[in-house]
Amino acid sequence: MNKLLLVILAMLTCMQGYSQEKFTISGTVRVQKTGETIIGASIKAGDAGTFSNDYGFYSISLPAGKYTFEVSAVGMLIHTRSIELGNDMTLNIALEEEPKTLDNITITATSKNRSLSSPQMGIERLSTKEIRNIPVLLGERDVLKTVQLLPGIKAAGEGNSGFFVRGGAADQNLILLDEATVYNASHLLGFFSTFNSDAIKDVTVYKGGMPAQYGGRLSSVLDIKMNDGNNQDYNVSGGIGLISAKLNVEGPIQKDRSSFLITGRRTYADMFLKLSNDSALKNNTLYFYDLNAKLNYNIGDKDRLYLSGYFGKDVLAAGQTFGLDWGNATGTLRWNHIFSNKLFSNTSFIFSNYNYNISIRNGANEFDIFSQIRDLNLKQEFQWYINNKNNIRFGLNSVHHTIRPGEVRPSSGQSSINLSLLQKRYSWENALYFTNTWKATDKINLTYGLRLTSFSILGEGDFYNIDNEGSVTDTLSYTKGAFIKTYINPEPRVAASYQLNETSSVKASYVRNVQNLHLISNSTTASPTDKWVASTNIIKPEVSDLFAVGYYKNLWDNNYELTFETYYKTMQNQIDYRDGANVFINSDAIETQLLFGKGRAYGIELQFKKKAGKLTGWLSYTLSKTEKRINGINNNKWYNARQDRTHDLALVASYQISKKWTISANWIYYTGNAVTFPAGKYHVNDQTYFYYTDRNGYRMPSYHRLDLGATWVLKQRKRFSSELSFSLYNAYGRENAYTISFRESEDNPGKTEAVQLALFKYIPSVSYNFKF
Amino acid sequence: MRIVILFGLILSISFMSCEKVIDVSLKDSEKLYVIEGILTDREGDCVVSISKTKNFDDDNIFEGLGDAVVSVTDDEGNTTALPEATTGVYRSATLTATTGKAYMLEVNINGQTFSASCIMPVKVKMDSLYVKEEGFFGETIKLANVQYEDPVVKGNNYRFIQYVNGIKEKNIFIRDDDYSDGNTSTITLFTAPDEDEDEIKSGDKVRVDMQCIAPALYKYWYSLDQGASGGSNSASPANPVTNIEGGALGYFSVHTVESKTVVVP
CA atoms of A675 and A221, how far apart (whole Å): 27
Contacts of B22 in chain A (CB under 8 A): 701, 737, 740, 754-756
Q: How far apart, in Å, are the Cα atoms of A769 and each of A193, A714, A725, B249?
A: 19, 10, 8, 60
Tell me, what amino acid is at A378? L
CB A447 within 8 A of CB A7: no
In this structure, whether the domain defined by A222-771 belongs to CATH 2.60.40.1840 is answered with no
Residue A301: is it exposed, middle or buried by C-beta count within 10 angstroms (0-12/13-18/19+)? Answer: exposed
What is the chain A residue with the closest CA to B132?
A363
Q: Are residues B71 and B172 in the same domain?
A: no
- Determine, for residues A524 and B233 on separate chains, whether the beta-carbon distance falls below 8 Å: yes
Task: Write out the DSSP string of A638-688.
Answer: -EE-TT--SEEEEEEEEEE-SSSEEEEEEEEEEPPPEE---SEEEEETTEE
Strand partners, A174: A221
Mean pLDDT over B67-87 rounds to 91
pLDDT of residue A156: 81
Which one-letter DSSP state was computed for residue A170? G
A579 and B6 in contact by Cβ < 8 A? no
In chain A, whose CA is at the least distance from the CA of B194?
Answer: A280
Q: How close does chain B come to A687, measured CA to CA in Å? A: 7
pLDDT in tens, B59-75: 888 888 888 999 999 99
Closest alpha carbon to A162 in A517, A522, A520, A524:
A524
- DSSP code at position A207: S
What's the confidence (pLDDT) of residue A99?
A: 65
> Which chain A residue shows the shortest CA-CA distance from B13?
A281
* pLDDT at residue A12, as a whole number: 44
Domain definitions of chain A by residue range: 2-112, 123-221, 222-771
Please tell me which of the candidates B16, B57, B58 has its beta carbon nearest to residue A761: B16
Architecture of the A123-221 domain? Beta Complex (2.170)
The answer to whether the CB of A380 falls within 8 A of the CB of A347 is yes
Q: Confirm whether B71 is domain-assigned.
A: yes
| CA A602 vs CA A150, A189, A222, A624, B56: distances in Å | 17, 29, 21, 6, 34
Choose among B51, B183, B228: nearest Cβ to A691. Answer: B228
Task: Count, in order, helices (H) and strands (E) of chain B.
Answer: 2, 18
Q: Which residues of A touch B62 (CB under 8 A)?
A: 682-683
Do B180 and B225 lie in one domain? The reply is: yes
B210 and B225 share a domain?
Answer: yes
Q: What is the 3-state secondary structure (H, E, C) of A158-208?
A: CCCCCEEECCCCHHHEEEEECCEECCCCEEHHHCEECCCHHHEEEEEEECC
Q: What are phi and psi of A160, to 5 degrees?
A: -100, 140
Which residues fall within 8 angstroms of residue A141, CB to CB, at 6 or more apart? A128, A131, A132, A134, A197
Residue B55 inside a domain? The answer is yes
Residue A275, SS3 per DSSP: helix
Tell me: do B225 and B207 sit in the same domain: yes
Looking at the complex, does the CB of residue A635 fall below 8 Å from at least one CB of chain B?
A: no
**Which of these three, B87, B119, B151, is where a domain ends?**
B119
Q: Would you give the distance in Å from CA B170 to the centre of its chain?
A: 9
Last residue of a domain, one of B70, B97, B119: B119
The pLDDT mean for chain B works out to 85
Residues B46 and B63 in one domain: yes
With a CB cutoff of 8 Å and minimum separation 6, the contacts of A62 are A22, A23, A25, A45, A46, A48, A85, A388
**Which residues fall within 8 angstroms of residue A621, CB to CB, at 6 or more apart?**
A151, A605, A606, A607, A647, A648, A649, A650
Same domain, B208 and B133: yes
CA angle A353, A356, A357 (to 5 degrees): 140
Q: Return d(Cα A214, Cα A202) in angstroms, integer.
A: 17
* Side-chain half-sphere exposure of A452, counting CA atoms within 13 A: 12
Q: B109 and B71 share a domain?
A: yes
Degrees to nearest 5, angle at CA A176 with A665 and A610: 30
Residue B171 sits at the chain A interface (C-beta within 8 Å): no
Of residues A289, A290, A198, the one with CA closest to residue A235 = A198
Interatomic CA distance for residues B222 and A585, integer angstroms: 12
Check whether residue B131 and residue B188 sit in a common domain. Answer: yes
The answer to whether residues B104 and B137 belong to one domain is no
Distance from CA of A416 to the nearest CA of B (A): 5
Chain A residues with CB-CB distance to B199 below 8 A: none
Identify whether residues B138 and B183 lie together within a single domain: yes
Cβ atoms A130, A74 nearer than 8 A: yes
- Asked if the C-beta of B130 comes within 8 angstroms of chain A's C-beta atoms, the answer is no
Flag whether B6 is in a domain: no
Residue-level pLDDT at A298:
87
Find the CB nearest A751 among B22, B59, B178. Answer: B59
CATH number for B207: 2.60.40
Q: Give B 63-122 residues with CB within 8 A of chain A.
A: none
Q: Sort residue A718 into left (φ over 0), alpha (ψ -120 to 50) or beta.
A: alpha
What distance, in Å, lies between the first and last C-alpha atoms of chain B?
29
Instruction: Pick the last residue of a domain from B78, B94, B119.
Output: B119
What length does chain A have? Answer: 772
**Total domains, chain B:** 2
Taking alpha carbons only, the member of B89, B92, B106, B77 closest to residue B43 is B92
On the 0-12 / 13-18 / 19+ scale of CB atoms within 10 A, B145 is: buried
- CB contact under 8 Å between A754 and B23, yes or no, is yes
Q: Show Cβ contacts of residue A206 under 8 Å, excluding neighbours closer than 6 positions.
A: A122, A123, A214, A220, A221, A223
Å between B192 CA and nearest CA of chain A: 12
Residue of B nearest to A735 (CA): B18
pLDDT of residue B49: 94
Please tell me the distance from the alpha carbon of residue A208 to that of residue A563, in angstroms, as a whole number: 14
Which residue, among A524, A630, A742, A762, would best test binding to B if mutated, counting the most B CBs under 10 Å from its CB?
Answer: A742
B102 and B189 co-located in one domain: no
Q: B75: domain range?
A: 33-119
Q: What CATH fold (topology level) applies to the domain A2-112?
A: Immunoglobulin-like (2.60.40)
- Closest by Cβ to B56, choosing from A418, A580, A680: A680
Same domain, residue pair B37 and B98: yes
B231 and A691 within 8 Å at the Cβ level: the answer is no
Residue to mutate among B4, B20, B24, with most A CBs inside 10 A, is: B24
Phi first, then psi, for residue A139 (nearest 5°) are 70, 5
Measured CA to CA, the distance from residue B262 to residue A391 in angstroms comes to 80
Judged by a CB distance cut-off of 8 A, whether residue A750 touches chain B is: yes
Q: Is residue B8 part of a domain?
A: no
Mind telling me how many Å the CA of B10 is from chain A's nearest CA?
9
**For an interface test with B, which of A577, A689, A694, A760 has the most B Cβ atoms less than 10 Å from its Cβ?**
A689
What residue of B is the nearest CA neighbor of A762? B16
Indicate the residue of A318, A701, A756 with minimum beta-carbon distance to B137.
A318
Amino acid of residue A534: A
Q: Can you give the pLDDT at residue A104?
A: 34
**Residues of chain A under the 70 pLDDT cut:** 1-20, 99-114, 128-129, 189, 271-283, 363-364, 522-526, 583, 586
| Least Cα separation, residue A595 to chain B (angstroms) | 13
pLDDT at A417: 81
Cis (ω within 30 of 0) for the bond into A460? yes
- Provide the residue type at A605 as one letter: E
Q: What angle do CA B189, B190, B194 make, to 5 degrees?
A: 140
